[in-house]
Amino acid sequence: MICLGIESTAHTFGIGIVDDKGKILANVKDVFTTEKGGMIPVEVAKHHRNCYKDVIQKALDVAGIKLEDVGLIAFSQGPGLAPALLVGLDVAKELVKKLNVPVIGVNHCIAHLEIGNLVTGAKDPVLLYASGANTQIIAYEGSKYRIFGETLDMGVGNFIDSFAREMGIGFPGGPKIEKLALKGKNFIELPYVVKGMDVSFSGLLTNLKQKFHSGKFSKEDLCYSMQETVFAMLLEVSERAMAHCNKNELLLGGGVCCNKRLQEMAKKMCQERGSKCFIPENSLLVDNAAMIAWLGITEHKAGVKTELDIKPYQRTDQVEVKWR
Ligand code: AMP
Ligand code: MG
């Protein structure tokens, strides 16, 4: 069976096509971007409505199949921006009407974890999910995917992008900051904010903005110090979750995990505790629809049925896990 997955929780509108053996036939996307400012939900939705037909056609072309070959539709049910999620739901409804096939709504965060398992061979990992809007430590315990730690305010990617915007280096800031950080020489002490299993970035952002505008520090040193501090915070809570759950696998997910320094630190932490570190390729770390299609197939095989609606505030532990 071939599943067509639809991703539309935030900036990315994606179509993924995956077969029931886990072969990724296509993973195509179109990303909403802005020159200035952040994401305005209705603008994002407009972007998705304008591009969805092209993205579907491109995905079918890449996969080398016809729409009629699709036997299952999966879509991101949440969490995410409601106007953007609604576009995905509408596209799912339109395709189901055309094809008369089953449809399933899946959780975006769990999709990051399951695609990671598929492509890396991880079996029972702790997921460090570090993306634009989300920062969570997720693991399977007590028959659910549970959140062991998370950000108390903004997602780490949004934090990084806000700091980049403040320095006037454009959006998305992550890759640009990574480059500048390579040239940093002096470590500047910054607030290190871990509260139990949670992390927080807003105070750190204010502190960085002040330091930047004081003119006393170079962009390179600030970027370098920011990365060292923030990635250490993320890995501290990840490691504690691994110890608490007695798990010896760490899986990375989310766009921020494309960062090579974060990957290096994650590998080192795992090596030191005799654990394994699994890192999917970049196209499967960022928001993508192959992961939605794969989780759709996985849940469908297990007999999961879902409502045809969106769940903008869905938490991972609200999802009944029948496939494990
Ligand atoms: P996502 O929401 O998972 O698609 O990820 C998008 C976020 O990842 C944005 O906030 C980017 O700035 C961030 N990002 C992408 N590449 C990198 C990188 N190399 N280092 C740090 N952050 C990154
Ligand atoms: Mg994501």
Closest ligand 1 atom to residue 12 Cα is 4
User: How many angstroms is it from 175 CA to the middle of ligand 1?
Assistant: 7
What's the pLDDT score for residue 132?
92
What's the pLDDT score for residue 172?
82
- Could you read off the pLDDT tens digit of each residue along the chain, which spans 324 residues? 999 999 999 999 999 999 999 999 999 999 998 777 678 999 999 999 999 999 999 999 999 999 999 999 999 999 999 999 999 999 999 999 999 999 999 999 999 999 999 999 999 999 999 999 999 999 999 999 999 999 999 999 999 999 999 999 877 899 999 999 999 999 999 999 999 999 999 999 999 999 999 999 999 999 999 999 999 999 999 999 999 999 999 999 999 999 999 999 999 999 999 999 999 999 999 999 999 999 999 999 999 999 999 999 999 999 999 999
**Measured distance CA(11)–CA(28) in Å, rounded:** 14
What's the pLDDT score for residue 216?
98
What's the pLDDT score for residue 170?
78
Residue 125 DSSP SS3: coil
**What radius of gyration do the chain's Cα atoms show?**
20
CA 87 to chain centroid, in Å, comes to 19
72-78 and 24-31 strand pairing:
unpaired
Closest ligand 1 atom to residue 173 Cα is 12
If one residue of 258, 261, 282 were mutated to test the ligand 1 pocket, choosing by the most ligand atoms within 8 A of its CB, it would be 258
Domains (ranges, CATH) in the chain?
Answer: 2-109+287-318 (3.30.420.40), 113-283 (3.30.420.40)
Sheet of 103-107: strand order equals: 24-31, 12-19, 2-7, 72-78, 103-107
If one residue of 160, 263, 279 were mutated to test the ligand 1 pocket, choosing by the most ligand atoms within 8 A of its CB, it would be 160
Give the Å distances, CA to CA, from 218 to 21, 169, 185.
50, 13, 10
Helix 260-272 and helix 173-182, axial crossing angle in degrees, nearest 10: 70
Cα(first)–Cα(last) distance of the chain, in Å?
20
**Measured distance CA(247)–CA(236) in Å, rounded:** 15
If one residue of 256, 259, 260, 282 were mutated to test the ligand 1 pocket, choosing by the most ligand atoms within 8 A of its CB, it would be 256
User: How many angstroms is it from 112 CA to the middle of ligand 1?
Assistant: 14
- Residue of the nearest CA to atom 17 in ligand 1? 174
Q: What is the pLDDT of residues 197-241, one digit of tens each?
A: 999 999 999 999 999 999 999 999 999 999 999 999 999 999 999
Q: Which ligand is nearest to the CA of 29?
A: 1
Q: Which ligand is nearest to the CA of 261?
A: 1
**Measured distance CA(33)–CA(47) in Å, rounded:** 9
Who lines ligand 1 at CB under 6 A? 131-132, 157, 160-161, 172-175, 178, 254-256, 258-259, 286-287
The pTM of the full predicted model, rounded to 2 decimals, is 0.96
- Residue of the nearest CA to atom 5 in ligand 1? 255
User: How many angstroms is it from 9 CA to the middle of ligand 2?
Assistant: 8
- Residue of the nearest CA to atom 8 in ligand 1? 255
Whether the Cβ atoms of residue 234 and residue 199 lie closer than 8 Å to each other: yes
